[in-house]
């Protein structure tokens, strides 16, 4: 049994991130829910600099693309070497790339059920496609736009997956009621004071009538989704057509 395999035995999940810029993760991993989840051993998160697996005096990780074109491409050898040093039979390898399938809550839920994630961050003009062919289980994009590298998308996945792990959030219903979990946007939330600059908390939330509160929240959730994300409403209709 490898070191990685033995460690995953004692933790809910292990996440390894392969990147050229491990220091970009230092702030997010040491704050809030991610910090607490790591301290409680609910998740292990490890950062790996792909440059450590590059050969030669200068440890070069990129080169010009065959066929010409602007920019540089991440080399196949150091990327595959780093992935294979971490990979076990339980591993699931995700490449962060604009060409990947769009990230949604249901994707995060599925990833949170994996015992070991390896997140591969691209850079420059992308990664030699042989990395994908040899090592990658899934390609994911966090949206239809281009960022400098895959570090920030990897942080998004680490955060989104970690908060879904058992015991990470204080209340199990926190996940059920939030946006996207039930197919619609979350209803508006309020706390003290009851009035601020002429804006009052809706009376139904102060009534103590849980049935009416639940009805109001459901109506507000649907109303907000219709206004801001009509595509989600249509998707719900397509999933559950009228008889």
Question: Model-level pTM?
Answer: 0.85
Contact 13, 161 (CB under 8 A): yes
Q: What is the pLDDT of residue 242?
A: 61
Residue 3: per-residue pLDDT = 44
Contact between 155 and 163 (Cβ < 8 Å): no
Query: Domain map of the chain by residue range?
Result: 3-162, 173-239
Q: Does domain 173-239 have CATH number 1.10.1270.20?
A: yes
Whole-number Cα distances in Å, 4 to 16, 34, 110, 129: 10, 20, 21, 26
Contact 102, 138 (CB under 8 A): no
Mean pLDDT by 10 residues, the chain (243 residues): 44 91 95 96 97 94 94 96 97 96 96 98 93 98 94 98 93 59 85 96 97 96 94 82 64
177 within 8 A of 25, measured Cβ to Cβ: no
Note the pLDDT of residue 183.
80
CATH topology of domain 3-162: Alpha/beta knot (3.40.1280)
The rounded distance, in Å, linking the Cα atoms of 62 and 76 is: 9
């Amino acid at each position: 049994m490898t070191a990685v395999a033995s460690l995953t035995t004692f933790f809910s999940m292990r996440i390894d991130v392969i990147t050229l810029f491990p220091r970009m993760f230092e702030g997010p991993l040491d704050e809030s829910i991610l910090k607490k989840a790591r301290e409680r051993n609910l998740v292990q998160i490890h950062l790996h600099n792909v440059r450590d697996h590059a050969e030669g005096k200068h440890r070069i990780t990129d080169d010009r693309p065959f066929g010409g074109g602007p920019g540089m491409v991440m080399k196949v050898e150091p990327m595959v070497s780093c992935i294979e040093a971490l990979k076990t039979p339980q591993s699931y390898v995700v490449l962060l790339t604009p060409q990947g399938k769009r990230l949604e809550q249901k994707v995060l839920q599925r990833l949170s059920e994996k015992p070991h994630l390896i997140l591969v961050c691209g850079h420059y003009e992308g990664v030699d496609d042989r990395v994908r062919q040899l090592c990658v289980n899934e390609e994911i994009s966090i949206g239809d736009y281009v960022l400098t590298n895959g570090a920030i998308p990897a942080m998004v996945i680490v955060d989104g997956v970690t908060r879904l792990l058992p015991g990470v959030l204080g209340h199990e219903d926190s996940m059920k009621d939030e946006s996207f979990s039930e197919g619609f946007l979350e209803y508006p939330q309020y706390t003290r004071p009851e009035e601020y600059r002429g804006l009052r908390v809706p009376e139904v939330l102060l009534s103590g009538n849980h049935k009416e509160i639940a009805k109001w929240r459901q109506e507000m959730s649907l109303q907000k989704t219709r206004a801001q994300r009509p595509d989600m409403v249509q998707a719900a209709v397509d999933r559950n057509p009228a008889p």
